[in-house]
Amino acid sequence: MKKTAMLFANGFEEVEALTVVDLLRRADVACDIVALDDGATVTGAHGVVVGADRAFTQTPFDDYDALLLPGGQPGTNNLAADERVLALLRRFHAAGKLTAAICAAPTVLAKAGVLEGRRATCYPGLEGRLSGATAVTESAVTDGTVITSRGVGTAIDFALALVTYLDGAERAEALAHAVVYR
């Protein structure tokens, strides 16, 4: 079973984060909610409080196949301001592991240098912050070991792209059918 970690910073976008966690788990892809802070809960941009599976400082990241970032504000800014997050993204990228982000969070991938020479998408208007990438407007973009997506309205597309990458197109299609998507 593939194992993923989604980093939750206070101010994360609830729909983007929880849709992805839910759909990955439905597809039998492990997805741990990792709190950037050491608290047991994380508060979303719209006041939804979520229990974390683990704290950042207590997470054995080498055990994971993918590192995922939800968007939202100030969550994205909190991720981008944390040097541990940037170093971890660089480490995953150097190891050829999947890094993925949705909405404003692809800008964190860019700050970490993992978008260099890749096609990527993000929340409309933030394309100028995708340094090193070729910005496109597709709902979800897979380029090598990087997956990006645009926002709340593309959260299911993002999750299905992750499932396709981690467990194959057939599994993603079965999941899309099971949740009555498209």
Q: What is the pLDDT of residues 87-142, one digit of tens each?
A: 999 999 999 999 999 999 999 999 999 999 999 999 999 999 999 999 999 999 99
Predicted local distance difference test score (pLDDT) of residue 154: 98
Give how far Cα 10 sits from Cα of 76, 159, 165, 171, 173, Å: 9, 21, 28, 32, 32
Q: How far apart are alpha carbons 91 and 111 in whole angstroms? A: 14
CATH of residue 107's domain is 3.40.50.880
Q: Is residue 103 annotated as part of the catalytic site, yes or no?
A: yes
Q: Which of 23, 68, 103, 160 is labelled catalytic?
A: 103
pLDDT at position 12 over 90: yes
Confidence of residue 182 (pLDDT cuts 50, 70, 90): confident
Domain count, the chain: 1
Range of the domain at 41: 3-178
What residue ranges in 44-152 does DSSP mark as E strands? 49-51, 54-55, 66-69, 98-102, 119-120, 134-135, 140-143, 146-149
Looking at residue 39, its pLDDT comes to 86
Regarding pTM above 0.85, the answer is yes
- Residues 28-44: tens digit of each pLDDT: 999 999 999 988 999 99
Q: What is the mean pLDDT of residues 16-25?
A: 98
172-177 long-range Cβ contacts below 8 angstroms, 24+ apart: 172/27, 175/23, 175/26, 175/27
CB 26 within 8 A of CB 19: no
